[in-house]
A and B are shown apart, each in its own frame.
Chain A
Amino acid sequence: MSQIRPLFKREFLGYFRSPVAYVFLIAFLLISVSLAFSRYGNFFKAGTASLETYFLFFPWLFMFIVPAVGMRLWSEEKRSGTVELLFTLPVTTLEAVLGKFLAGWAFLTLAVLLSFPMALTVAFLGDPDWGIIASTYLGAILMAGAYLGVCALTSALTKNQVISFVLSLAACAMLVFLGLSSFTTTLESFLPVGIADVVSNFSFVTHFDAFTKGIIDPKNVAFFLSLIGFTLFLNVVALER
């Protein structure tokens, strides 16, 4: 497992070796902030000193933004042939999967934390509940990890980054839409209510919502963590195939 460190380091610093990382971070901040201030977000009209409207869009924003980070994880290695180099170095598939995943997750965490000035703005304007802000950040980071797990897996299935991006986007969209009430209703129209419940229970929105209300429910934490575990397991399987 000590092999994870150099793999992590190479991958994480790799984001900053090209302008892509900076473009990504700036785009993420611009989009997330402007969504919050848009008429859908009502950041000001909400009239409360909270980040709720800011984080409201995160499940949707992540749906596009995490595939952009995740698509290159394995596709790029396969396309350029470096996957042959990587897997003839003394590392196990699990170590490689973990090193890469953790690097991508750290990068996404950085993106999420760069929104902290928003929290400071809110603190300046009013008296926010720091507990809620902390739990929301935790939820956002966990959710980013779960999205990334899905994207890392789809990235391992193809050497084409565009296909990888589209596959990831589709998979992530599924995980968001499952939670929409209209979608759930549709499901209930042809599935037994019990099954529809289980299916909609897989939605990221449902699990993320509690965090934005200041509730750290072990069930929600476990949901994201087990989804990460499961996708990483499949990632190893897909690479060893």
Chain B
Amino acid sequence: MIEVKGLVKTYGNKRAVDGITFTVKRGEILGFLGPNGAGKSTTMKMITGFIRPDAGTAIVGGIDVAVDPVGVKRQLGYLPESAPAYPEMTVEEFLRFIAEIRGFRATGEKRARVEHVLRLTHLTSVRTQTIETLSKGYKQRVGFAQALIHNPPALVLDEPTDGLDPNQKNEVRTLIRSMAAEKAVILSTHILEEVEAICTRVIIIASGRIVADETPSALRARQPGARLDEIFRTLTT
């Protein structure tokens, strides 16, 4: 579903992403793991067509993002890091706007979509609140709702549980797991337990390069008896 081929991005004289290649099939949840500044967000921005790669490309549902970026954007749900949203809009207004942009113009259909994601992400109680008045956890849910509104076949989530309390983290993980069967999901994180908890596969990157691409259990088997964060440290330093 998502095919990433040799992505490269350089900022000034710094290689943020240095030749990343992988594929994600439907039903897979890929954990994108790496220390801060490893190039996770930059890779995701190239997959979603927000920034243009210096080399390489991404193909989503058979569409090349370099050839038809809008076509790729139609198939993707994307939660950018820190879940940006228009602060002066209410949750409802914002989701209605996203629904319209996603092509649900008929009133009934639009309402159905918005209601569905409001329930799915437990936002019903704050639906008439402006986004600027929401707590971090609720803001994150708005970002989630926005990414799910068109039931996309591919999801790209940049640190979806960042800044949430343990209960909220758990809730988000349950939500992701419940949708994963028919979707291809990439999620970035720097929390190791998260990977074990929900990912079917894990890619570890450091300084823009892939240093491991395997199942969580294979990762654990690298150093039997060692803690996951020890293995992570060995790989990324």
Where the two chains meet, the residues of A that have a C-beta atom closer than 8 Å to any C-beta of B are: 3, 5-7, 9-10, 14, 17-18, 80-82, 84-85, 87-92
What are 5 of the A-B contact pairs (CB < 8 Å)?
A9-B97, A9-B100, A17-B88, A89-B73, A90-B70
Find chain A residues with CB under 8 A from B146 CB: 85
For residue B142, give the distance in angstroms from its CB to the closest CB of chain A. Answer: 11
Find chain A residues with CB under 8 A from B49 CB: 87-88
Whether B102 contacts A10 by the Cβ 8 Å rule is no
Q: Is B5 an interface residue (CB 8 A)?
A: no
Find chain B residues with CB under 8 A from A80 CB: 84, 86-87
Please report the C-alpha to C-alpha distance between residue A5 and residue B80 in the assembled complex, in whole angstroms. Answer: 24
Please report the C-alpha to C-alpha distance between residue A80 and residue B97 in the assembled complex, in whole angstroms. Answer: 18
Whether A17 contacts B89 by the Cβ 8 Å rule is yes
Whether B48 contacts A88 by the Cβ 8 Å rule is yes
Please report the C-alpha to C-alpha distance between residue A92 and residue B94 in the assembled complex, in whole angstroms. Answer: 20
Whether B86 contacts A84 by the Cβ 8 Å rule is no
The listed residue (A3, A5, A14, A89) touching B88 by CB distance below 8 A is: A14
Whether B80 contacts A90 by the Cβ 8 Å rule is no
Whether B86 contacts A89 by the Cβ 8 Å rule is no
- B residues 42-67 with Cβ under 8 Å of A? 45, 48-50
Find chain B residues with CB under 8 A from A91 CB: 70, 73, 101
Q: Is B126 an interface residue (CB 8 A)?
A: no
Closest to A5 in B: B100
Find chain A residues with CB under 8 A from B74 CB: 90
Q: A88-B50, A89-B98, A89-B102 are in contact. Are A18 and B88 (CB under 8 A)?
A: yes
Q: A6-B97, A7-B101, A89-B73 are in contact. Are A84 and B88 (CB under 8 A)?
A: no
Closest to B78 in A: A88
For residue B9, give the distance in angstroms from its CB to the closest CB of chain A. Answer: 15
Find chain A residues with CB under 8 A from B100 CB: 5-6, 9
Q: Is B85 an interface residue (CB 8 A)?
A: yes
Q: Is B76 an interface residue (CB 8 A)?
A: yes
The residue in A3, A14, A82, A84 that gathers the most chain B C-beta atoms within 10 A of its C-beta is A84
Q: A85-B146, A87-B50 are in contact. Are A92 and B70 (CB under 8 A)?
A: yes
Whether A88 contacts B85 by the Cβ 8 Å rule is no
Closest to B90 in A: A17
Other contacts beyond A81-B82, A90-B103: 8, CB < 8 A: A6-B100, A9-B100, A14-B88, A17-B88, A80-B84, A84-B45, A84-B80, A88-B78
- B residues 88-109 with Cβ under 8 Å of A? 88-89, 97-98, 100-103
A-B CB proximity, top 10 nearest: A81-B84, A6-B100, A17-B88, A90-B73, A90-B74, A88-B48, A82-B84, A84-B80, A88-B78, A90-B70
Find chain A residues with CB under 8 A from B80 CB: 81, 84-85, 88
For residue B140, give the distance in angstroms from its CB to the closest CB of chain A. Answer: 14
Closest to B158 in A: A84
Closest to A92 in B: B70
The listed residue (B45, B82, B89, B102) touching A90 by CB distance below 8 A is: B102
Find chain B residues with CB under 8 A from A92 CB: 70
Whether A10 contacts B45 by the Cβ 8 Å rule is no
Find chain B residues with CB under 8 A from A88 CB: 48-50, 73, 76, 78, 80
For residue B155, give the distance in angstroms from its CB to the closest CB of chain A. Answer: 12
Find chain B residues with CB under 8 A from A84 CB: 45, 50, 80, 84
For residue B53, give the distance in angstroms from its CB to the closest CB of chain A. Answer: 14
Closest to B71 in A: A90
Find chain B residues with CB under 8 A from A18 CB: 88
Closest to A14 in B: B88
Please report the C-alpha to C-alpha distance between residue A44 and residue B137 in the assembled complex, in whole angstroms. Answer: 60
Closest to B73 in A: A90
Find chain A residues with CB under 8 A from B86 CB: 10, 14, 80, 82
For residue B84, give the distance in angstroms from its CB to the closest CB of chain A. Answer: 4
For residue A99, give the distance in angstroms from its CB to the closest CB of chain B. Answer: 10
Find chain B residues with CB under 8 A from A82 CB: 84-86
